[in-house]
Chain A
Amino acid sequence: MRMRRRPLYAAGVGALLLAHSPAAAAPRTYTVVIDKLKFGPLPAQLRKGDTILWVNKDMLRHTATAADRSFDVDLQPGKTGKTLLGKTGTFPFLCRFHPGMRGVLQVK
């Protein structure tokens, strides 16, 4: 029971925080397209709470996997996946199957 209540509590606090910080930008979703074994242009102005929508347009299965494993999204050909950026920092990531594919997300 304890475990199940936590997210609700956290969400409540989050809502409270948002309600009391009208200056904070609303979270946004940014699309990163994957094709021909490359991650497309990465958004520069990422903020904590934003979401990355990974769109795999390639014929191959890929992943978007953080070096610190804070996210690991499996992306079948033609499919999408999401990563919620829950903390600030610098996050190098790669495709586990094709580690030549890599990038860095900067979250402020």
Chain B
Amino acid sequence: MKRQIPLLAAAALLSAAPAIAADAPTDPQIAHIAYTAGAIDIDAAKQALSKTHDKAVHDFAAQMVRDHEAVNAKALALVKKLHVTPQDNPTSQNLTKGAKAERAKLAKLSGAAFDREYVANEVAYHKTVNGALESTLIPSAKNGELKSLLETGLTLFREHQAHAEQVAKELK
């Protein structure tokens, strides 16, 4: 039974479908997934900052670094305070695997092609993570402070998604 938990969460993340998991991810797994999702976006933004020449894309990426670093710092402080050890799980692993592939794809692109792919992926990525937060991670979180941080995260990442969509429109 236990092995199914992360798989359900993974399915929810990947499809962004409103999956109501019979077995929910645990708080240590949720913390790991949330932190990993943030770290991935920071890495992607740093790659963009080193490659883009577009001001709107640059500003967006700089904000992704700033906001996600702030949330992840808060998340680290919280797990420390709660004496929770984030637990690796297939959802986190799938996220990392997907990010690695996207990073390799972006590495081969430059100029406008890079900008378009980076921003399009940011739209899709935030959409996926927001879907997972809404349908699985927030409802499953047991600790009140963790739940509250995830809720603030969702508000923030919706802003990011809207921002990415705006930049994507400008790039067309």
Complex interface: chain B residues within 8 A of A61 (CB): 66-67, 70
Which residues of chain B have C-beta atoms less than 8 A from A59's C-beta?
70-71, 73-74
Across the interface, do B66 and A37 meet the contact criterion of CB distance under 8 Å?
Answer: no
The minimal Cβ–Cβ distance linking B95 to chain A, given in whole angstroms, is 22
- List the B side residues contacting A97 at CB < 8 Å: 63, 67, 159
Residue A99 at the B interface, CB < 8 A?
yes
Task: Give chain A's interface secondary structure class.
Answer: loop
Is the CB–CB distance between A98 and B156 below 8 Å? yes
**CB-based contact B66/A99 at 8 Å:** no
Is B152 an interface residue when CB atoms closer than 8 A count as contact? yes
The smallest beta-carbon distance between B35 and chain A, in angstroms, is 14
Binding site of B, secondary structure by majority: helix, strand, loop or mixed?
helix
Number of interface residues of B (CB under 8 A): 14
With an 8 A cutoff between CB atoms, is A100 at the interface? yes
B152 touches A100 (CB 8 A): no
Cα A7 to Cα B70 with chains together (Å): 40
What mask results when residues 148 to 169 of chain B are scored 1 for a CB within 8 Å of chain A, else 0? 0001100110110010000000
**Chain A residue at minimal CB-CB distance from B160:** A98
Residues of A within 8 A of B156 (CB): 37, 60, 98
Q: In the complex, which residues 64-108 of chain A have their Cβ closer than 8 Å to any Cβ of chain B?
A: 77, 97-100
Whole-angstrom CA separation of A59 from B38 in the bound complex: 15
Question: A28 an interface residue at 8 Å Cβ cutoff?
Answer: no
Chain A residues lying within 8 Å of B162, measured Cβ to Cβ, are: 99-100
The answer to whether A60 touches B155 (Cβ under 8 A) is: no
* B70 near A99: Cβ-Cβ < 8 Å: no
Question: Would you call B70 and A77 a contact (CB within 8 A)?
Answer: yes
The answer for the CA separation of A57 and B155 in the assembled complex, in Å, is 16
Given the interface pairs A97-B63, A100-B162, the reply to whether A36 lies near B70 with Cβ below 8 Å is no
User: Lowest 6 A-B CB distances belong to which pairs?
Assistant: A98-B159, A59-B70, A37-B155, A36-B152, A59-B74, A100-B159
| A contacts, CB < 8 Å to B | 36-37, 59-61, 77, 97-100
Binding site for A on B (CB under 8 A): 63, 66-67, 70-71, 73-74, 151-152, 155-156, 158-159, 162
